[in-house]
């Protein structure tokens, strides 16, 4: 099978984690030459071929490095366009990109971009890319992420922006370092975000959450809180107790739920045991009402495009070509882009 030619749906991709290393260097080089940056060359910080980041080294890569490159609208625009081009070249026909709205400050501390301006810059880049590539069939929507480290006020601001830009923004997400708001964190648990996610549902926005990503964020109490938000999709779904697995399966049987599973990210970051054959994709593929969608998570970091994720799934789980196509189609019912987009995908993928 030609896995690049296979029409694919990408539902779990973080914007900043999807930027290629070459694009990071293209952003870094002119700023460094102009004396605007003192951080190291991306080629040294993220050498080609290095993909074995774990949860301890992964999150600082963004907070201490990648965010320091995306300090203005032109850089953010270049990064977004590059990410879209890479996904389209890999045969993705529908993409839901996610990003956490960020305030961007100049070196002297003055405000360059508000959170809303940051999101509008990304949306404008998406719109311009789609106009420039009209013959291509990839459509892109945006999800805004609430970081676990955010304050309740930050989360409320993210919801306000999502509501203001609804249509191009199709949902909100909970993401970030699993250690944040884990048991014992003085900032409190993820329950502080319950009012925001409840309000998002009432406004008709879709909801996805990073779910049971690591043991520290996988207590039954936390996962029950997240399930009480009635999320439309769950990301990662790794460290579940039998009781919570039953809750997820029941949601699938009752009305369906999307599962965003990321093979290479989970294996390379040692989030699962048993390598690719031991990945929980095999457990969830046939679960009633649980619509599995493969995702890259952070292809710029882990180096596995979506075509390779399908190749890995076929190789390690013995999928025939038709079974691989069926797996790719499972994500259709879980997209946040509406019924017209689902019909477009059905025409393309059958």
Task: Report CA 178 to chain centroid distance, whole Å.
Answer: 15
Is 315 among the catalytic positions?
A: no
| Length of the chain (residues) | 350
Burial (CB count within 10 angstroms: exposed 0-12, middle 13-18, buried 19+), residue 45: middle
The two beta strands, 206-211 and 233-236, are: parallel
Please name every residue paired with 48 in a beta bridge, in sequence order, or none if there are none: none
Q: Which of 96, 157, 213, 260 is catalytic?
A: 213
Radius of gyration in angstroms for the set of CA atoms belonging to the chain, rounded to a whole number: 19
- How far is the C-alpha of 258 from the C-alpha of 334, rounded, in Å? 5
Annotated catalytic residues are 213
């Amino acid at each position: 099978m030609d896995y690049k030619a296979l029409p694919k749906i990408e539902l779990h991709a973080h914007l900043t984690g999807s930027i290629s290393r070459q694009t990071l260097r293209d952003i870094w080089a002119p700023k460094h030459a102009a004396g605007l940056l003192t951080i190291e060359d991306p080629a040294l910080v993220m050498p080609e071929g290095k993909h074995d980041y774990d949860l301890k080294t992964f999150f600082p890569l963004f907070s201490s490095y990648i965010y320091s490159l995306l300090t203005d609208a032109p850089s953010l625009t270049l990064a977004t366009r590059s990410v879209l081009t890479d996904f389209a070249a890999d045969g993705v026909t529908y993409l839901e990109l996610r990003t956490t709205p960020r305030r961007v400050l100049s070196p002297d501390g003055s405000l360059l971009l508000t959170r809303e301006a940051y999101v509008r810059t990304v949306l404008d880049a998406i719109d311009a890319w789609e106009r420039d590539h009209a013959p291509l069939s990839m459509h892109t929507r945006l999800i805004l992420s609430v970081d676990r480290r955010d304050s309740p006020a930050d989360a409320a601001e993210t919801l306000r922006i999502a509501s203001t830009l609804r249509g191009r923004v199709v949902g909100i997400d909970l993401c970030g370092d699993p250690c944040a708001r884990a048991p014992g964190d003085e900032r409190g648990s993820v329950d502080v975000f319950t009012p925001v996610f409840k309000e998002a549902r009432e406004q008709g926005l879709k909801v996805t959450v990073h779910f049971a990503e690591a043991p520290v964020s996988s207590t039954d109490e936390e996962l029950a809180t997240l399930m009480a938000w009635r999320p439309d999709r769950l990301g990662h779904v790794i460290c579940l107790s039998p009781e919570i697995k039953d809750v997820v399966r029941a949601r699938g049987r009752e009305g369906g739920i999307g599962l965003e599973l990321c093979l290479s990210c989970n294996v390379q970051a040692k989030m699962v045991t048993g390598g690719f054959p031991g990945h929980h994709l095999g457990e969830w593929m046939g679960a009633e009402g649980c619509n599995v969608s493969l995702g890259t998570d952070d292809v710029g970091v882990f180096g596995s495009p979506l075509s390779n994720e399908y190749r890995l799934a076929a190789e390690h789980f013995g999928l025939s070509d038709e079974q691989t196509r069926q797996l790719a189609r499972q994500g259709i019912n879980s997209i946040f882009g509406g019924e017209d987009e689902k019909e477009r995908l059905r025409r393309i993928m059958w």
